Amino acid sequence: MEIREVDVHDEPSLHRYWEIGKLADAASRPYDFFAPWESARMSYVHGRDDVRFELLGAYDGSTMVGAGRVDLNLLDNLHAAYVEVWVDPSWQRRGVGRALEAECVQVARSQARRTLMTEAYAPIGQESPGTRFAEATGYAPGLEDAMKVVDLVETEPTWAALEAKAAEAVGDYRVVTWRDHVPDEYLDDYCRLNEMFFDEAPTGEMDVQNEVWDAQRVAAREERNRLTGRHELSAGAVSPDGRLVAVTEAIVNVRAAQRGHQSGTLVEPAHRGHRLGLAVKLANHRQIREAFPQCRVLLTGNADVNAPMNAVNTQLGYRDVERCVELQKTLG
């Protein structure tokens, strides 16, 4: 077996790299949320200005049988590398994953990264080949998230009652929505909320540090979304003095618009207790249904210890479908 870097401009090799990830993901997870090929291709070819990634292929002769990826942040969290390993299901348990992980370690070492991070998914209350592999290669669990889905079509009839409930506490706050581009009047506050995210969201034992956000970083992400067919739909809460104090975001890819990914939701600590989390998520669910009526299922993840957000998601109809274990190891 040979481990080689995958050339992102060699389309057959790049497609095989993507295919291995999709096959491995489909074999172990209950829902398909893997990036569509064309979006993944554009992401690989165009790259990013905030992350440098290295794609690795494990070859048996001329056949790629495993795929690995190392992400190296360039703006913050410069001590860390994020690692992913996939093995074609027909080649699993033959040492392919271990060989790829070892090469990922070498890439991280060469860039003076001391912490390797990864994720592994498993059925609720069970271990999986992914969690067992991660722990066997020296990664320790740092945080557990419950992965949840909601059916927007089934739950839409409940939204009016929930909106009335939220309105009782929202008071003079205003709920606003936007798509693809953060409005200029909220940009500074949006960056401020992003910068406080890791302080406010549970991170467990994971060795992560807050990120630095500015207009340039937001614009770069918006351009990446445009190139890859991803639409970002957002809702926020504006305080009586005109500041954006809460935000929630979801992504719908036009190449797989039947599904979406609900990402971060944050309410500034001083403004909690007004049901703003519920209000902004309801507004965004409505926005998604209007913009993408074919989008039926949203996937999200919440740390088990995040009781307030779990309570909001329960009201919205999210249900647990699997668990995500965030793991890390420190290089000596």
pLDDT tens per residue across span 209-227: 999 999 999 999 999 999 9
Percent pLDDT > 90 in the chain is 97
Percent pLDDT > 70 in the chain is 100
What is the crossing angle of helices 11-28 and 37-46, to 10°?
130
3-state per-residue secondary structure call for the chain: CEEEECCCCCHHHHHHHHHHHHHHHHHHCCCCCCCCHHHHHHHHHHCCCCEEEEEEEEEECCEEEEEEEEEEECCCCCCEEEEEEEECHHHCCCCHHHHHHHHHHHHHHHCCCCEEEEEEEECCCCCCHHHHHHHHCCCEEEEEEEEEEEEHHHHHHHHHHHHHHHHHHHCCCEEEEEECCCCHHHHHHHHHHHHCHHHHCCCCCCCCCCCCCCHHHHHHHHHHHHHHCEEEEEEEEECCCCCEEEEEEEEEEHHHCCEEEEEEEEECHHHCCCCHHHHHHHHHHHHHHHHCCCCCEEEEEEECCCHHHHHHHHHHCCEEEEEEEEEEEECC
Residue type, 250: A
Q: Could you tell me the pTM of the whole model?
A: 0.94
What pLDDT is attached to residue 317?
A: 98
Query: At 9, is the pLDDT very low, low, confident or very high (cuts 50, 70, 90)?
Result: very high
Residue of 231, 235, 236, 248 whose CA lies nearest to 291: 231
Largest CA-CA distance found in the chain, in angstroms, rounded: 66
How do 140-151 and 115-122 pair as beta strands?
Answer: unpaired
CATH of 149-321, one of 3.40.710.10, 1.10.357.10, 3.40.630.30, 3.40.50.720: 3.40.630.30
b vs e for 47-67, b when ≥16 Cβ sit within 10 Å of the residue's Cβ? eeeeeebbbbbbeeeeebbbb
Q: Is the CB of residue 87 less than 8 Å from the CB of residue 69?
A: no
For residue 55, pLDDT over 90 is answered with yes
What pLDDT is attached to residue 304?
A: 85
pLDDT tens per residue across span 142-195: 999 999 999 999 999 999 999 999 999 999 999 999 999 999 999 999 999 999
Question: CATH topology of 2-113 equal to that of 149-321?
Answer: yes
Overall average pLDDT of the 285-308 stretch: 96
For residue 316, pLDDT over 90 is answered with yes
List the domain boundaries for the chain: 2-113, 149-321
For residue 198, pLDDT over 90 is answered with no
For residue 332, pLDDT over 90 is answered with no
- What's the whole-number average pLDDT of the chain? 97
What pLDDT is attached to residue 188?
A: 98
Cα separation values, 132 from 25, 144, 196, 303, Å: 16, 15, 33, 20
Q: Is the CB of residue 103 less than 8 Å from the CB of residue 3?
A: yes
For residue 199, pLDDT over 90 is answered with no
Overall average pLDDT of the 289-308 stretch: 95
Overall average pLDDT of the 17-35 stretch: 97
For residue 201, pLDDT over 90 is answered with no
CATH of 2-113, one of 3.40.630.30, 3.10.20.600, 3.90.660.10, 3.40.50.720: 3.40.630.30
Retrieve residue 31's tokens: 């829902």
Tokens 């740390």 locate to: 303
